Amino acid sequence: MPRHLIDITDLTTEEIDGLIATAEDILDRPDAYQDVCKRKQLATLFFEPSTRTRLSFESAMLSLGGNVLGFSSAESSSTAKGETVTDTVHTVSCYADIIAMRHPKEGAPFAASQVSEVPIINAGDGGHNHPTQTLTDLLTIHRERGSLSGFTIGFCGDLKFGRTVHSLVNALSRYTGIRYIFISPLELKLPRYVKEHALKQRNIPYEQTTDLSAVMPELDILYMTRVQKERFFNEEEYLRLKDSYILTPAKLSDAKPDLSILHPLPRVNEVSVAVDRDPRAVYWKQVRYGKYIRMALIMFLLGLTPPPVTTSLP
């Protein structure tokens, strides 16, 4: 049976730590990895738009010496003729060694994993989960803070539909010494199922507020998110909520000097472009790290080991 990544909890914390260590090694010596996936093929099946996830997966596989195939919209596949997701994945698993898929329906990657003979990676399913963004976020936190424990993190924006938030809370709840502050409009609070599963069952306390300014001085990490237009059934409701939080340099005036501002991107206008110049804004580094952690994940799911470190004699 192939190993899949559908939910971040499919990986143990030891495995996550190992992926982070591998990604950091790739960052240090990328050339050592250039042939690890020679003659392997990655298929990217994106039934929903993407820039970072799809292209970072493709760049990751190409940098490992492998090849890529796939499609970037449902309309350009036989889905447009009525083919089911499972038949599509069954077909592609005959051509590729590993598949990364994004789908607007929650649970579609899990259904795909039931018929695939090759590893399936959930590259985002509706408003549910986005485990490879979480690996990217964890690598970013690790590189910025040197640890995945002992900090206060504020999640701000659309916590209801924000799949990156759901997966990251699930991942962090298995590490220790983390204080959680959820900042959102009342209509976009973190879903009860995420709170129950990740936090309440583990007796992890958390705070909820609508006021970002009030908690800003307490944060070590601020995880900003976009209000997810595509998940709203009601345009009026989206327009009313979309600008609930707009982070500007002025709003950071009483933030900690070593705050790390993360955002999975894309942004609309919840983070002012002027914030990009603040050294505490690390979301462009986060984008870059996404490729390296995906390189580590592809190797892991294909059962390929990192190349050994060779040291030359003096």
Q: Which residues are catalytic?
A: 52-53, 81, 102, 130
Nearest to 124 by CA among 189, 61, 46: 46
x-marked contacts with ligand CP along 81-120 as a string, rule CB under 6 A: ----------------------------------------
3-state secondary structure the chain: CCCCECCHHHCCHHHHHHHHHHHHHHHHCHHHHCCCCCCCEEEEEECCCCCHHHHHHHHHHHHCCCEEEEECCHHHCHHHHCCCHHHHHHHHCCCCCEEEEEECCCCHHHHHHCCCCCCEEEEEECCCECHHHHHHHHHHHHHHHCCCCCEEEEEECCCCCCHHHHHHHHHHCCCCCEEEEEECCHHHCCCHHHHHHHHHHHCCCEEEECCHHHHHHHCCEEEECCCCHHHCCCHHHHHHHCCCCCECCHHHCCCCCCCEEECCCCCCCCECHHHHHCCCECHHHHHHHHHHHHHHHHHHHCCCCCCCCCCCCC
Partners of 5 in the β-ladder: 121
Minimum Å gap between C-beta 140 and ligand CP is: 12
Query: What's the min distance (Å) between Cβ of 34 and ligand CP?
Result: 24
Using CB under 6 A as the criterion, what x/- string covers residues 119-158 for binding ligand CP? -----x--------x-------------------------
Among 210, 188, 207, smallest CA distance to 199 is for 207
Q: Are 156 and 310 in contact (CB under 8 A)?
A: no
Among 47-55, 93-101, 106-114, 172-180, the segment contacting ligand CP (CB under 6 A): 47-55
Stretch that binds ligand CP, among 67-75, 181-189, 204-212, 260-268 (CB under 6 A): 260-268
By CB under 6 A, residue 264 contacts ligand CP: yes
106 versus 196: smaller Cβ distance to ligand CP: 106
Nearer to ligand CP, 166 or 199 (CB): 166
Least separation, in Å, of the C-beta of 205 and ligand CP?
28
x/- mask, ligand CP, residues 174-203, rule CB under 6 A, reads: ------------------------------
Shortest gap between Cβ of 136 and ligand CP (angstroms)? 8
Among 106, 266, 274, 288, binds ligand CP (CB under 6 A): 266
Size of the site for ligand CP (CB under 6 A): 9
53: contact with ligand CP by CB under 6 A: yes
Q: Does 265 bind ligand CP (CB under 6 A)?
A: yes
In terms of CB distance, is 36 or 158 closer to ligand CP? 158
Pairing state of beta strands 151-156 and 120-125?
unpaired
From candidates 52, 174, 179, 229, binder to ligand CP by CB under 6 A: 52
- Residue closer to ligand CP by CB (options 52, 174) is 52
**Nearer to ligand CP by C-beta: 53 or 244?**
53
> Applying CB under 6 A, which residues contact ligand CP?
50-53, 124, 133, 264-266
